Amino acid sequence: MRKYYLDNLRYGIVLLVIFYHVVYLFNSVGVITNVAIPGIPQMDVFLYLIYPWFMPCLFLISGISAKYALDKKSGKQFLKEKIRKILIPSIAGIFMIGWISGYVTNQYVNMFAGNAVPGIVKYFIYCLTGIGPLWFAHELFLAYLILLLIKKIDKKNKLAVMGGKVNFIALLFLVFAVWGSSLILNTPVIEIYRNGIYIFMFLLGYYVFSYDHIIEILQKYKYPLLAASVVIGIIYTIYFWGQNYSLMKNLQNPLTNAYAWFMTLALLGCSKAWFDKDTVFSRYMRPRNFSFYILHYPLLVIITYLIDRNFQVNPMVFYIILMILEAVFLPVAYEILSRIPVIRALLLGNWNKK
């Protein structure tokens, strides 16, 4: 039986990622973006309230989904599917659309300092500087590999048995493990690859939160969890206001990780209680979810650049225009690209003939 609350929460987070990136492009706290356009500092409040938890939550949901998939498929079948649907698009996307963000970045920072550089070299540099949200797919595929390795070692499935025994108090105290995971396995230069916390959240999804009775516990305590999350989120935002929230020292702070954990628990409980239903919109989003995630950022960046170079726009109006244009052109871009066989397969991970 399909878990509609997971589908709805997953695409809800993807839509939130799109909104986040609209605001992020104009942030005033020093987070590096692909454009250099001043925004409204007060709008940054949304960045603080969203950033700590939305990707950890997405990895946890992916872990839950992996459990349901592996209940029906062998490890070999599962890996083959993920290579086609996740790994290949995450690599092909760098060279097919990643250059767009890199090109736009160069229009603002002049990466080559006026030096003559061959076009092919520029292209590869643009691609590598325009990875954007594709990092999620790289990290997710690594999590799949680690999961399959653990399953091969844990042949008696002892970890899953332990995960099923977790109670509400244990769920609360897992916040310390989440904090600890944020301190390890982080890449030194490209800090966005936070291997520790993302893989840990993925494994928690697989071994703990894939149990229906665990989700029912969260559903039962949804109001206290949501209230605690809101309070912690406000405290977090006030404490870090004006700082670059994406710096590793801030991401490793206990307050940041407490907010990420309790909001994740609250969202799972609330989604199960209020959004465990199939709708016309959810049926529309379900097969497009990953594609929208892949396509939204390069599209957003190029629209922002074209508006900035050709029009004088009030900052608040700029936010609104971007949201509207993204909502219009993202589905259009998907419908066009999904009808081109090679692009549909390599970029969107859809290898079906129809």
Residue 149 lies in a domain: yes
Give the tens place of pLDDT for each residue, 79-115: 999 999 999 999 999 999 999 999 999 999 988 877 8
Backbone angles phi, psi at 254, to 5 degrees: -55, -35
Residue 351 lies in a domain: no
Give the pLDDT confidence score for residue 188 in this predicted structure: 81
Give the tens place of pLDDT for each residue, 9-54: 999 999 999 999 999 999 999 999 999 999 999 999 999 999 999 9
Is a pLDDT exceeding 90 seen at residue 190? Answer: no
Residue 120 lies in a domain: yes
Give the tens place of pLDDT for each residue, 145-159: 999 999 999 999 999
Is a pLDDT exceeding 90 seen at residue 232? Answer: yes
Cβ atoms of 37 and 307 closer than 8 Å: no
Residue 92 lies in a domain: yes
Give the pLDDT confidence score for residue 170 in this predicted structure: 97
Is a pLDDT exceeding 90 seen at residue 260? Answer: yes
Residue 25 lies in a domain: yes
Average pLDDT, integer, range 56-61 = 98
Residue 161 lies in a domain: yes
* Residue-range definition of the domain harbouring residue 317: 4-346
Euclidean distance between CA atoms 10 and 121, whole angstroms: 37
Give the pLDDT confidence score for residue 353 in this predicted structure: 60
Is a pLDDT exceeding 60 seen at residue 316? Answer: yes
Q: Where are the alpha helices (DSSP H) in the chain?
A: 4-24, 45-70, 75-82, 88-96, 98-109, 119-129, 135-153, 158-164, 168-181, 195-207, 212-220, 222-240, 248-251, 254-274, 280-285, 289-310, 315-337, 341-346
Is a pLDDT exceeding 60 seen at residue 354? Answer: no
Instruction: Please report which confidence band the pLDDT of residue 117 belongs to, taking 50, 70 and 90 as the band edges.
Output: confident
Give the tens place of pLDDT for each residue, 158-180: 999 999 999 999 999 999 999 99
Is a pLDDT exceeding 60 seen at residue 243? Answer: yes
Give the pLDDT confidence score for residue 281 in this predicted structure: 96
Give the pLDDT confidence score for residue 352 in this predicted structure: 79
Number of domains in the chain: 1
Residue 79 lies in a domain: yes
Nearest to 4 by CA among 352, 285, 293: 285
Beta bridge partners of 186: 194
Give the pLDDT confidence score for residue 80 in this predicted structure: 96
Give the tens place of pLDDT for each residue, 265-278: 999 999 999 999 99
> Pick the residue with more confidence: 190 or 206?
206
Give the tens place of pLDDT for each residue, 295-315: 999 999 999 999 999 999 999
Residue 274 lies in a domain: yes
